[in-house]
Structure 1
C-alpha cells in the first residue's frame, strides 16, 4: 500500500480524489442538483483515471504491453457498459446508441490522436507493432460493417422493424464470437506476432503486481459507480449548458466514460510505449463494437422497456466508418509522429462541431 500512498502524496492531480466521496455525499443529500453532480462526477473521474493509468503501466511491465493494453481496455470498458446499462434500463435507447457510436469514434480518433500528438512532441518518431494494430482495426472494420447492414436495410424498408430486431440479435452473437476468436488468435495461438516494437522509457518503478491488479479492479469499480451518478445527471446538465442530445451522447458521455483509458494511453505514449497506447485505443474501440454493443442488444431482452437493435442513424454509421478507415490508414506503417495525431484530432473536431451545431431532431 505504501507505493499507492506515496503516489497520492507526490501527485497534485490525485488530490482531486476528495471529489470521489464528495460526489457520493452530494448524490445522497442533494440528488436533484443535476448540474452540480455532473461537474463533481467529472472531477472525480479525472484522478481515478490517473490512478488507473499507473496501475495499468505496472501490470503491463509484468505482462507485456499487448496484454496490458487488453487488460486496461477490458476494465476501462466496464465504465461504458455501466453507463449504457443504466441508460438502457431507463429506456434511453438513443442515448445508449449515441454513447456506443461516440465511444468507438472517440477511442479511435481522439484517444489515439492525443497519444500520437503528445508522444510525438516528446519523441521525434515512434514505432509500434503494426500487426497488432491491423488486427484491432480489422476487427473494428468488421463491426462497422455489421452496424451498417441493419441501418441500410431499415432505411430501404422502414416497415421492417421485426426483421431488423431479429437481424440485430443474430449479428450480436456473430460479433461476440468474432471477438472471442480474435482474443484466442492474439493471446493464445499467435502471441509472438504481437510483441512490442520498442522498450520505451523505464520511468518510475512499477507497483507490485498484487497492488496493481487490486488497484485496477477497485478504481474501475469506483469509476463505474461515479458514472452511474453521471448518467443520471448528464441530460439535465446538458440543457443548462446548451448542448444537444446528440452531442451529449456522442461526445460528452464517451469522453467521460473513456477518461480512465485515455490517461493510460497518453501516459504510455509519453514514455515511448506506443504499443500500449495503440492497444488501449484500438482495443477498447473494438471491444465496444464487438462485445459491449452486442451484449447490450442481448441484455435488452431482459431489462428496459423494449429490446434494442443495431440500427443507428445514418450520420453515426458514417462517422464510425470514417473513423475506422482513418485508423486503418494511419496505423498501416507502424510509425507515428506528432502531426499524425493532429490529423486524427482534426477529423474528431469536425464530428464534434457538427454534432454540437446539429438541430435536436436531426439524429432521429
Structure 2
C-alpha cells in the first residue's frame, strides 16, 4: 500500500483523513452533539472522496472508462444504499424516497453539469461517446415511466387500494432490475465496441496497480459508509440549527454528501479531458439508483422494514425527476459539451433546490 501512502503524503487535502477516526470517536463519546458531528462528518467525507477518485482513475486506466465509470458508480451508490437502508430499518420511508429521488436528480443535473463546467473551463470543447449517454438516458426514461405509474394511480384518489400499490411496486421493481441487468449485458458484453472512449488521453502519472486500486476502493467505500451513517443520524437536528427544511435535507443535502465520492472522480476526470468517464459516472450512477437501488429497497423493505415500501413518490418529486431526465436527454444529444452547457444544467438544479428550500413538498 505504499502507493496510497505516497499519495497521502503528497496531497495535503488527504491529511484530513485524520477526521475519519475523529468523527467516529466523537460519535461514541457524545452521540447527542449533532451539529458538531454533522460538520466533522462533512470534513471526513472530503478526503475519502479524493482518495476514491484517485483509485477509480487507476481502475479506469486498466479497464477502460466504461467499466471504470460503472465501478465508481456502483461503489459510490453503495453510500446512498447504506444511508437508505439505515432509514428503511427505522421505517423512515419519506427520507428514503427523498434521498433516492435527490440522488437521481443530483447525479443527472449537478454532477453532470459541474463536470461539463469544470472540464469546459480548461478545454474549449470536449467530446464524449454519445452512444453511452443515450443508453443511460434511455434507462432513466424507463425508470421515470415506472415511477410515474404508481404515483399517478395513487394520486387519482382513494380507489387505489394499498395492496394494489404494493403488488404494482413489486412487479415494477422486478422489471426495472431485469432491465438494468440487460443494459449491463448490452453495454459491457454484446455491444461493448459501441461504448468506448472517444479518444485516448495521456495519463499525467502512472496509475496504481489494479489490486491496490481495488483494495483502496473497497476500504474507502466502507469508511464512507461509516461516516455517512453518522451524518444521517446528525443531519436532521443540524439542519434545524442551520434553518434547512426536511425536504431540502433529504433531497439536496443527503444526496450531495452521499455522492461526494462520485463527484470527486467525475470532476477530476473532466479536468483531464476524460469526459467519457465523467458522463459514465454521472448518468450511470443515476440510472443505477433508479433501476437497481430504488427497486432493491422496495424488495428489501419486506425483509428489514417495519412495513413494505412502495414506489409511490409525491407528485412534486416525480416532476423534478422528469425535468432532470429531459434535460439530460436534450443536453447529451450532440456528444459535445462546453462550460456554458454545464452552467445551464446547474441553473436547472439550483431552481429545483431553491424551490425545495422555500416550499418543500408535502410528506407522504
Alignment of 1:1-364 (within 5 A): 1-160=1-160, 161-359=162-360, 362-364=362-364
CA distance in 2, matches of 1:89, 1:2: 39
Q: Is the contact between residue 314 and residue 362 of structure 2 (CA under 8 Å) also seen in structure 1?
A: no
Structure 1 contact 201–273 (Cα < 8 Å) conserved: no
Task: Describe the SS at the equivalent of 2:35.
Answer: helix
Q: Deviations over 1:218-241 (max 9, x none)?
A: 101110111111111111111111
**1:358: how far off?**
1.3
Structure 1 runs, 4 residues or longer, greater than 6 Å off = none
Alignment RMSD (CA, Å): 0.9
* 1:205, distance to aligned residue in structure 2 (A): 1.3
Secondary structure of the 1:300 match is helix
TM-score w.r.t. the length of structure 2 is 0.98
Aligned equivalents of 2:50 and 2:273: distance in 1?
Answer: 18
Deviation at 1:164, TM superposition (A): 1.0
Check conservation: 1:315, 1:363, Cα contact below 8 A.
no
Asked whether the equivalents of residues 94 and 363 of structure 2 are also in contact (C-alpha less than 8 Å), the reply is no
Deviations 1:46-69 (A, max 9, x none): 100000000000000000000100
The answer on whether the counterparts of 1:201 and 1:272 sit within 8 Å (CA) in structure 2 is no
Give the whole-Å Cα distance in 1 for the aligned partners of 2:24 and 2:309: 30
Deviations 1:87-135 (A, max 9, x none): 1101110000000000000000000000000000000000000000000
- SS of corresponding position for 2:304: coil
User: Offset at 1:304?
Assistant: 2.0
Deviation of 1:362 (Å): 3.0
Is the contact between residue 44 and residue 227 of structure 2 (CA under 8 Å) also seen in structure 1? yes
Q: How far apart in 2 are the matches of 1:147 and 1:124?
A: 38
Q: After the TM superposition, which of the residue ranges 160-169 and 86-95 deviates more from structure 2? A: 160-169
Q: Secondary structure at the match of 2:303?
A: coil
Q: Please give the alpha-carbon distance, in whole angstroms, between the structure 1 residues aligned to 2:303 and 2:363.
A: 26
Q: Normalising by structure 1, report the TM-score.
A: 0.98
Mind listing any 5+ residue stretches in structure 1 that lack a counterpart? none
Matched residue SS, 2:169: helix
Unaligned runs of 5+ in 2: none
Cα distance, 1:363 vs. partner? 4.2
1:159 to partner: Cα distance: 4.0
